[in-house]
Amino acid sequence: MAPYKTIDDLDVADKRVLVRVDFNVPMKDGAVTDATRIERALPTIEELSKKGAKVLLLSHFGRPKGKPDSEMSLKPVAKALADRLGGPVEFVEDCVGDPVKKATKNMLDGDVAVLENTRFHPGEEKNDPEFAKALAANADLYVNDAFSAAHRAHASTEGIAHLLPSAAGRAMERELDYLKAALSAPVRPMMAVVGGAKVSTKIELLLNLVGKANILAVGGGMANTFLFAKGISVGKSLCEPDLADTAREIMDQASQKGCEIILPVDVVVAKEFKEGADREVKAANAVGADDMILDLGPETVNLIAEKIESAKTLVWNGPLGAFEIKPFDTATVEAARYAAKRVKDADLVAVAGGGDTVAALAAAGVEDDFTYVSTAGGAFLEWLEGKTLPGVAALEASPEK
């Protein structure tokens, strides 16, 4: 049983339900250019509406620094939501006070309204108790469906959950279920694939994963730092020599905890980082002084595929090479497609997340083939690091009445 309530535990009929969503979506010329986050919130919005709730949607948008900014209004998002719901969505000019009070008075059961950007108020990011009270004043219940904002202790993500009976929305519930299946209670063997440019951005993540995973494959620029820490020359490659001791500590921890670390045994190198650059496959310990490591070699990809073959659970964060420029996306694409095939064969639970990761999987054409792909960014990373997320913890401590 989950330590938090879900929509199933709430009687929402004829109730004003504040729903924290993440509508911080890409916008150009006043129109939404990527509605993924809106679409992920639809199941919660539609279910609450069908059950007779008056649905009031809260979100931040951009960084308006605690004051109104017409460029960061959620009004265009309300239109995009209406298009996807196939029905009217009211836009309310504020998220607290009389505008919301007036709107809720006029709403019928099942109606949906988007409230203005929570960050137009300085109390939002400060998690000011008075602002949280002002948000709660016009509602009976609170539902958090924004896992991507759950790592922030803001008034609309954390403070309000202590003031109203609260529950997780369907997207939040789904994300937490998959992350628990992948990290907290995985079917073993459990494998983690971690890539990206720098060890410095993922120290806590790596230290946490070596205590959770049976196998950890390291790729991307950060793998160069691990090779350097083992006394292997990486030429002109991206590397953080000052983190060699940290890399050695991570490898020592892995050894103590029985986690097998997979590092590159061969690499793809070039003299310059550009599309169409002359490239060569070399053994990882034979990189020249003027070489740049830009991708994993075929032998390493085969090794990672063999480990994926043996795994029952896979957690993936970060590309394995400089995937933005072809052909240095080859290792990421091939390994991702192999993992996707294992998922399709029902032999693997594969969960992935992080901005570059989502883009890399989309480029490989397998974004929809993994068991679950999180768009939560920072919240996903903090979960992988083993941190407590304020927005989730607040749901667990929600008042009964």
Catalytic site positions = 37, 198, 355, 378
Query: What is the C-alpha separation between 80 and 47, in angstroms, rounded?
Result: 18
**Contact (CB, 8 A) for 351 and 178:** yes
Distances 75 to 24, 129, 156, 339 between C-alpha atoms, Å:
12, 26, 18, 40
Kindly give the pairing relationship between strand 372-374 and strand 349-353.
parallel
Kind and range of the H or E run holding 56: strand 54-58
Of residues 352, 384, 381, the one with CA closest to residue 367:
352
Residue recorded with tokens 């991708």:
295
Of residues 220, 236, 238, the one with CA closest to residue 321:
220
Adjacent-strand bridge partners of 32? 27
Which pair of tokens denotes residue 63?
A: 């960084």
Residue recorded with tokens 């990761």:
357
DSSP secondary structure letters along 343-363: HHTT--EEEEESHHHHHHHHH
Is 395 buried (19+), middle (13-18) or exposed (0-12) by CB count in 10 A? buried
End-to-end CA distance of the chain: 20
C-alpha dihedral over 197, 184, 263, 296, to 10 degrees? Answer: -60
Kind and range of the H or E run holding 209: helix 203-209
Give the three-state DSSP class for 288: coil
Which pair of tokens denotes residue 381?
A: 């990373």
Residue recorded with tokens 């991206």:
238
